């Protein structure tokens, strides 16, 4: 078990370089919490700093709450590898921790012959990535499995599911604390200074008691939407490193109550070629209702969660291709989330970024960026990667 972390005031953290902890994790979303738990279970002393008053306030709680299978990502990519392994690990974790979830499966629906050909390619790509149980079915079988859906051809993806994201955040926090990690809410980092001559990093943070500092041999940047700000504090230029953040908003529309229980699983369209998003799809909830989304819109701010009612028609037109009985007046504005993309408008999708930045002159800085979907699915597998990178500095 990780050693206890003792020190100043109510935060209970170190304030001298001689008492440095092994690892400080910056960011309390699902990846940061999973990493803190995995590091602590490996015997490291760990403190996690989250700037918000609660964990999982940003990307982790503003998404489709889907356990992805790993279909869409290039073979050998971090997204493909960590998604497939992460889904297996996540289901097991949810069962053990009592997190509400459902392995409901997914149908990806092709509306015409052109999309049908793309669906066949998607099946091959998924099989290459190690996704099991994929099968193509015709329109008649689609209608039998999902009476509310229609299409030319569909891909059955049995390993896809849904979960309660807030429940997952809470369970990951419980796991990390049980392993000995110190998790601190409301602690915003404002300074990072690498140590010289093998000395630990200095982390300046601000909480309700004022400003203080903490020392650590390794810093893990799991700050999500704030990852680039953390890089700059550490002395790294994210733009020069090719890690510019492109905030991309996705909004959702809820669907009227008559549709409650109408879908047995998730129904997706064939995704667009550039994979900016997966297309406007059905987002089934654990209580049987569903919403549609998300779309993709590059924005200037990472805190603008406005849902424009004027986008309703676009959602309706997209969804009626596979849900033909849907009416436009059944859609109402719901929620929005922001993706921290590494690819800008018109650019090809980018992989997750995960690296120990020793080559950039920052030994002990484990840097994560671009953790959009499927990072929620992949969180436990990504945490293993963080543990291994931290070990390069600690062992």
- pLDDT tens digit at each of 395 positions of the chain: 344 444 443 455 555 777 899 999 999 999 999 999 999 999 999 999 999 999 999 999 999 999 999 999 999 999 999 999 999 999 999 999 999 999 999 999 999 999 999 999 999 999 999 999 999 999 999 999 999 999 999 999 999 999 999 999 999 999 999 999 999 999 999 999 998 878 999 999 999 999 999 999 999 999 999 999 999 999 999 999 999 999 999 999 999 989 999 999 999 999 876 556 678 999 999 999 999 999 999 999 999 999 999 999 999 999 999 999 999 999 999 999 999 999 999 999 999 999 999 999 999 999 999 999 999 999 999 999 999 999 999 98
Q: CA 85 from chain center: how many Å?
A: 14
Report d(CA 300, CA 336) in Å as an integer.
Answer: 15
What CATH number is attached to the domain comprising 261?
A: 3.30.9.10
Q: Is the dihedral of CA 262, 266, 272, 277 positive or negative?
A: positive
Sorted by sequence, the CB contacts under 8 Å of residue 148 that are 6+ apart come out as: 259, 262, 263, 323, 325
Q: Indicate whether 230 and 175 sit together in one domain.
A: yes
Rama region for 360: left / alpha / beta (φ>0; ψ in -120 to 50; rest): alpha
Where does a domain end: 324, 341, 358?
Answer: 341
What CATH number is attached to the domain comprising 369?
A: 3.50.50.60
Residue 380 in contact with residue 38, Cβ under 8 Å?
yes
In the 8-state DSSP scheme, what is residue 385?
H
Q: Indicate whether 223 and 92 sit together in one domain.
A: yes
Q: Indicate whether 113 and 90 sit together in one domain.
A: no
- The answer to whether the predicted template modeling score (pTM) of the entire model surpasses 0.85 is yes
Q: Indicate whether 266 and 125 sit together in one domain.
A: yes
Q: What is the 3-state secondary structure (H, E, C) of the chain?
A: CCCCCCCECCCCECCCHHHCEEEEEECCCHHHHHHHHHHHHCCCCEEEECCCCCCCCCHHHCCCCEECCCCCCCCCCHHHHHHHHHHHHHHHHHHHHCCCEECCCEEEEECCHHHHHHHHHHHHHHHHCCCCCCEEEEHHHHHHHCCCCCCCEEEEECCCEEECHHHHHHHHHHHHHHCCCEEECCCEEEEEECCCCCCCEEEEEEECCEEEEEEEEEEEECCHHHHHHHHHHHCCCCCCCCCCCEEEEEEEEEECHHHCCCCCCEEEECCCCCCCCCCCEEEECCCCCEEEECCCEECCCCCCCCCCHHHHHHHHHHHCCCCCCCCHHHEEEEEEEEEEECCCCCCCCCCCEEEEHHHHCCCCEEEEECCCCCHHHHHHHHHHHHHHHHHHHHC
Q: Indicate whether 65 and 184 sit together in one domain.
A: yes
Report d(CA 245, CA 231) in Å as an integer.
Answer: 11
Residue 271 in contact with residue 112, Cβ under 8 Å?
no
Q: Indicate whether 124 and 232 sit together in one domain.
A: no
Q: Indicate whether 66 and 148 sit together in one domain.
A: no
Supply the range of the domain harboring residue 275. 106-154+246-341
Residue with tokens 């996540």: 90
Q: Indicate whether 173 and 55 sit together in one domain.
A: yes
Q: Is the dihedral of CA 4, 7, 8, 9 positive or negative?
A: positive
Report d(CA 276, CA 284) in Å as an integer.
Answer: 21
379 preceded by a cis bond (ω within 30 of 0): no
3-class SS at 210? strand
Q: Indicate whether 329 and 372 sit together in one domain.
A: no
Question: Total structural domains in the chain?
Answer: 2
Tell me what pLDDT residue 279 has.
86
Q: Indicate whether 169 and 303 sit together in one domain.
A: no
Where does a domain end: 314, 341, 368?
Answer: 341
Q: Indicate whether 378 and 277 sit together in one domain.
A: no
Residue with tokens 């953040």: 245
Report d(CA 198, CA 218) in Å as an integer.
Answer: 11
Q: Indicate whether 75 and 164 sit together in one domain.
A: yes
Residue 126 in contact with residue 69, Cβ under 8 Å?
yes
Strand 201-207 and strand 153-157: the pairing is unpaired
Rama region for 364: left / alpha / beta (φ>0; ψ in -120 to 50; rest): left
Residue 239 in contact with residue 249, Cβ under 8 Å?
no
């Amino acid at each position: 078990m990780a050693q206890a972390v003792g020190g100043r005031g109510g935060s209970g953290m170190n304030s001298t370089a001689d008492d440095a902890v092994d690892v400080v994790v910056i960011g309390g979303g699902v990846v940061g919490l999973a990493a803190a738990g995995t590091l602590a279970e490996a015997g490291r002393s760990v403190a996690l700093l989250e700037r918000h008053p609660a964990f999982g306030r940003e990307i982790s709680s503003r998404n489709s709450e889907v356990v992805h299978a790993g279909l869409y990502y290039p073979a050998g990519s971090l997204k493909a590898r960590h998604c497939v392994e992460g889904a297996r690990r996540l289901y097991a974790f949810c069962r053990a921790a009592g997190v509400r979830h459902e392995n409901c499966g997914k149908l990806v629906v092709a509306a015409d012959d052109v999309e049908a050909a793309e669906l066949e390619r998607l099946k091959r790509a998924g099989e290459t990535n190690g996704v099991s149980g994929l099968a193509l079915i015709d329109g008649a079988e689609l209608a039998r499995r999902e009476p509310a859906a229609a299409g030319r051809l569909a891909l059955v993806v049995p390993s896809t599911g849904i979960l309660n994201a807030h429940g997952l955040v809470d369970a990951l926090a419980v796991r990390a604390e049980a392993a000995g990690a110190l998790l601190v809410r409301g602690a915003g980092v404002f300074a990072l200074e690498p140590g010289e001559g093998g000395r630990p990093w200095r982390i300046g943070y601000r909480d309700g008691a004022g400003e203080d500092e903490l020392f650590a041999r390794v810093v893990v940047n799991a700050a999500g939407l704030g990852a680039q700000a953390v890089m700059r504090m550490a002395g790294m230029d994210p733009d020069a490193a090719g890690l510019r953040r492109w905030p991309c908003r996705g909004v959702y529309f809820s669907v009227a109550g008559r549709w409650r229980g109408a879908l047995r699983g998730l129904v997706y369209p064939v995704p667009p070629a550039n994979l900016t998003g997966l297309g406007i799809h059905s987002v089934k909830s654990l209580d049987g209702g569903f919403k549609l989304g998300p779309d993709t819109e590059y924005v200037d701010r990472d805190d603008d969660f406005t849902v424009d009612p004027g986008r309703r028609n676009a959602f309706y037109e997209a969804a009626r291709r596979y849900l033909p009985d849907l009416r436009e007046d059944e859609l109402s504005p719901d929620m929005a989330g922001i993706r921290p993309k590494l690819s800008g408008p018109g650019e090809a999708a980018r992989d997750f970024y995960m690296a120990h930045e020793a080559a950039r002159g920052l030994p002990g800085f484990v840097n994560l960026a671009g953790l959009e979907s499927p990072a929620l699915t992949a969180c436990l597998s990504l945490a293993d990667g963080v543990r291994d990178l931290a070990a390069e500095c600690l062992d």
